[in-house]
Homo-oligomer: A and B are copies of this chain.
Amino acid sequence: MKRTLQHIEYREDTEELARFAKALGHPTRIAILRHLESQACCFTGDLVDVFPLAQSTVSQHLKELKNAGLIQGEVKPPKVRYCINQENWNKAKILFNSLFNHTRSYSLDTKQSEDKHADKTN
């Protein structure tokens, strides 16, 4: 693998934002998080019932969300109750916010540039 040569070191918040984004980069995981937001918490089995996916697949998505820090699991034998990890959820919220709200003053008067740029490279 040639990528070993190039493991760029980015700012920590850049890495962290990318990790969060990556975890959010699958519709099933977005849906799981939406579910957790609306239901407060729920068990793995509840999610398996909601999504037409194998239990192992749901479990794997939960693992990824947990590894990214977006959710946390509490063992209630023989079940596991998953909830959003509020601390990291807030962190992610702040990071995404700062990405999208790096306000650029001219962004309000660039109507003409939007027209000009349209599909020139497609």
Contacts and interface: CB of A to CB of B under 8 A. Distances in A.
Given A24-B18, A73-B120, A114 B86 contact: yes
A1 interface: no
Contact of A117 (B17, B74, B120): B74
A121 B73 contact: yes
Q: How many copies does the complex hold?
A: 2
A28 interface: yes
A31 B6 contact: no
A121 B66 contact: yes
Contact of A110 (B6, B37, B86, B117): B86
21 contacts: A6-B52, A8-B52, A10-B27, A10-B30, A10-B31, A14-B34, A17-B30, A21-B30, A23-B25, A24-B25, A24-B99, A25-B25, A34-B99, A40-B106, A72-B120, A83-B113, A86-B110, A86-B114, A96-B96, A96-B100, A97-B97
